[in-house]
Amino acid sequence: MNRLILASASKIRAAMLANAGVAFTVVTADINEDEAKIKGAGARDVAMDLACRKALAVSQAQPGALVLGADQVLEFEGNLLSKSPDMDVLAALLRRLRGKPHALVTAAALARGGQVVWRHVEEARLFMRNFSDGFLAGYLAREGKGVLSSVGGYRLEGFGAQLFERIEGDYFAILGLPLLPVLAALRKEGAIAP
């Protein structure tokens, strides 16, 4: 089997791979995410660029390994949103998102020897319910600063599910990794058993 490296500090991405029985190590990629967010670039292109940059950055330093990079971009009303720097900014964002849909675009890329050998992108639509200010205050108090690591300020696998009335798209991709396509690619690349 080929050695697999996950080029991400995301605990949920690591948990998804581990729960699927995939052996890997984590080496985080040090990239400037703002460089990829060029004005006018679409969410799919930005997410894919970020995933490829992460995979390539680690792959160049680990030429014998297969490296998985992944990233997500949130698009709302034609704008790409970044992670909130603090809880006040996050509260304002969630007030803007409530009662409206947004798109969450998740990309993954595999690199080996400094070359991208596989890439995939998924787009999901999430419809936030029109929750009350009281619910929002309780949500933020319960979740704490941990949700600042998520671009939308929610973890759908936990209490954040209560923010939504429905979702359209791949659940795994919403969590941060299009797991089934990734597993198929890992089988093809010899990183897991066929």
DSSP per residue, the chain: ---EEE----HHHHHHHHHTT---EE------HHHH--TT--HHHHHHHHHHHHHHHHHHHSTTSEEEEEEEEEEETTEEE---SSHHHHHHHHHHHTTSEEEEEEEEEEEETTEEEEEEEEEEEEEE----HHHHHHHHHHHGGGGGGSTTS--TTTGGGGGEEEEES-HHHHHT--HHHHHHHHHHTTSS--
Q: Which member of 71, 88, 133, 170 is catalytic?
A: 71
Q: How many residues does the chain have?
A: 194
Instruction: Tell me if residue 71 is catalytic.
Output: yes
CA-CA-CA-CA torsion sign (121, 127, 36, 151): negative
Task: Point out the residues that are catalytic.
Answer: 71
